[in-house]
C-alpha cells in the first residue's frame, strides 16, 4: 500500500479515481532501473542504496515522469527489503576492555593528553 502522498488521483463527479500506471516503455524502463538498483545493492550499506534510488528518481523526473511514480516504486521495494546489521566477530564490550588494558600497560593509566593519544 502506498502512502497518500505518493498516490496520483483525480476527483471526478464526487468520486476520487486513482491514476494507474500506463506500463509504457518509459515507466517500465524506470521500474527495471529501480529493481536493478535494489538487486545490485545486496550486501551494501543502506545509505549507498538510498543514493542510487535518488539517482533513479532524478532520472525519472528528467524523463518527464511524475516524481511520485519513481518514489512509489522505491517505497514498495523498500517494504519488501530486509535490512540487517552486519555481523561482526568482535564483541564491542570486549574490544573496549582490551584497548583499555593495552593503554594501561603502555601508559600506566589513562591517556590524558593529545601526544599520548597520538603515540598509542
Q: Does the pLDDT of residue 113 top 90, yes or no?
A: no
Structural domain spans, the chain: 4-79, 88-120
In the prediction, which pLDDT does 62 show? 97
- Phi first, then psi, for residue 45 (nearest 5°) are -75, 150
Q: How far apart are CA 118 and CA 101, in angstroms?
A: 17
Q: How far apart are CA 120 and CA 18, in angstroms?
A: 63
pLDDT tens, position by position, 2-56: 898 998 888 999 999 998 999 999 999 999 999 999 999 999 999 999 999 999 9
Alpha helices (H) along 1-120:
25-40, 46-62, 67-79, 92-107, 114-119
Amino acid at each position: 500500500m502506498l502512502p497518500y502522498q505518493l498516490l496520483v488521483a483525480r476527483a471526478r463527479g464526487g468520486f476520487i479515481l486513482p491514476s494507474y500506471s500506463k506500463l509504457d516503455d518509459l515507466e517500465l524502463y524506470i521500474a527495471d532501473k529501480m529493481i536493478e538498483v535494489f538487486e545490485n545493492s545486496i550486501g551494501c550499506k543502506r545509505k549507498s542504496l538510498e543514493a542510487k534510488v535518488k539517482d533513479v528518481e532524478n532520472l525519472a523526473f528528467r524523463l518527464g515522469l511524475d516524481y511520485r511514480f519513481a518514489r512509489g516504486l522505491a517505497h514498495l521495494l523498500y517494504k519488501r527489503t530486509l535490512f540487517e546489521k552486519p555481523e561482526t566477530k568482535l564483541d564491542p564490550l570486549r574490544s573496549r576492555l582490551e584497548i583499555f588494558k593495552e593503554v594501561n600497560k603502555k601508559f600506566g593509566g589513562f591517556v590524558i593528553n593529545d601526544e599520548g593519544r597520538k603515540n598509542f
